[in-house]
Amino acid sequence: MQTTSPTSRRSRILNWLTPVVLVIAVVLLAAVVARSVALATLQEALAKSAGLPSGAADSAAPAQVITNPPQLTIRPATRLGSPTAPITIIEFSDFQCPFCAKVEAETMARLRGTYVLSGTVALVYMHAAVLGDESTWAAQAAECAADQGQFWAYHDLLFARQSGENQGAFTKEHLIGFAGELELDLSRFEPCLKNDETLARVKQDTAEAQTAGVRGTPTFFINGQPLIGAQPLSTFEKMIAVR
C-alpha cells in the first residue's frame, strides 16, 4: 500500500491554499478601494450641497452640511451695514482662529469695502469662542468695545494682533492695552472686562453656533445658506449673485 509522506501532504495543501488566499486578498483589496472611492464621492457631494467648492475642508475644520439654521440673536453693535440690506452674512468666528484671520484679511475686508458700503450686504459677526480662555476673553473685550460703539475697530485690531492659541497674546491685561490704543474709555472698559460683564453674550453666541450646527470656524450663513471655511471673495460673490 502506497503511503503519502507528511511533506507531500503539506505541499499539496499549500498548493491548494495559495490561490484561495490570493483570491481572498484581491477581493478584500477591491472592497477597500471601492469604499475609498465611495467616501470621496460622498464628501464631494456633501461639499456641493453646502455650497462649497471641492476641497474646501482644507480651509478650516472638517466641513459639514448645515441645514435649516435656527433664528439667531443679532445685536446691532456687531452688525455692519444697513439693516435693510437684501443680503445678510452672519459670520461665526474665533479671534484666535488662524483661518478666521486669513479670511478677514483676504476676503472680508474687500467684501466690507465693496458690498457693505454699497448697501448690498449687511455683515453680522457672532462669536464661536471655542479655542480656550483667550478666545473667550478676546470676545468679551470686543463686546466691551461694542458698548462704546467701537466693535469693528477692536475686531480688526484683535485679528491683527493674533499670535498663536493661548500663548498670552489675548490676556486681559493686553486686551485692556488694545482698548487704550483705540482711545476707548478705560474707566468703563476695564471693569467691563475684568468683571465679565459681557460674558453672557459670548456664551449665548457660542451656544447658538452649536445649535446651528457650526463645527468649525469660520462658518458663514448667507441669507441662511451655509458657507464653511476661509473661502475666497469669488466664492462669496457667486453666492451673493444668486440671492
* Torsion angle, alpha carbons of 231, 228, 216, 36, to 10: -100
- Report the alpha-carbon distance of residue 221 to residue 159 in Å, rounded: 21
SS3 state of residue 135: helix
Q: What's 105's domain CATH number?
A: 3.40.30.10
Do residues 70 and 95 both lie within one domain? Answer: yes
Strand order in the sheet with 225-228: 79-80, 121-127, 87-93, 219-222, 225-228
Do residues 106 and 36 both lie within one domain? Answer: no
Do residues 113 and 227 both lie within one domain? Answer: yes
Quick one: which of 108, 176, 189 has its CA closest to 147?
189
Task: Specify the pLDDT at position 99.
Answer: 95
| Cβ-contact 115, 240 below 8 angstroms | yes
CA angle 209, 75, 138 (to 5 degrees): 65
Last residue of a domain, one of 11, 31, 49: 49
**Amino acid residing at 196:** D
Which structural domain, as residue segments, surrounds residue 8? 1-49
pLDDT band at 93 (very low <50, low <70, confident <90, very high): very high
Task: Specify the pLDDT at position 243.
Answer: 65
Do residues 96 and 131 both lie within one domain? Answer: yes
Count of all residues that appear for the chain in the document: 243
Do residues 178 and 135 both lie within one domain? Answer: yes
Q: Which three cell numbers stand for residue 188?
A: 468703563
| Cβ-contact 90, 72 below 8 angstroms | yes
Do residues 77 and 178 both lie within one domain? Answer: yes
More confident residue, 17 or 176: 176
Task: Specify the pLDDT at position 180.
Answer: 97
- Angle, nearest 10°, between helix axes 172-181 and 151-160? 120
Task: Specify the pLDDT at position 19.
Answer: 56
The tens digit of pLDDT for each residue in 138-156 reads 999 999 999 999 999 999 9
Preceding omega of 69 cis (within 30 degrees of 0): no
Task: Specify the pLDDT at position 241.
Answer: 86
More confident residue, 240 or 61: 240
Quick one: which of 88, 175, 97 has its CA closest to 131?
97
Do residues 6 and 94 both lie within one domain? Answer: no
Task: Specify the pLDDT at position 206.
Answer: 94
Do residues 121 and 27 both lie within one domain? Answer: no
Do residues 64 and 20 both lie within one domain? Answer: no
Q: Which three cell numbers stand for residue 225?
A: 445658506
Kindly report which listed range (41-50, 95-104, 222-231) carries the lowest average pLDDT score: 41-50
Last residue of a domain, one of 31, 49, 67: 49
Do residues 112 and 202 both lie within one domain? Answer: yes
For residue 175, pLDDT over 60 is answered with yes
Number of domains in the chain: 2
Do residues 142 and 207 both lie within one domain? Answer: yes
Task: Specify the pLDDT at position 58.
Answer: 36
For residue 211, pLDDT over 80 is answered with yes
Do residues 73 and 3 both lie within one domain? Answer: no
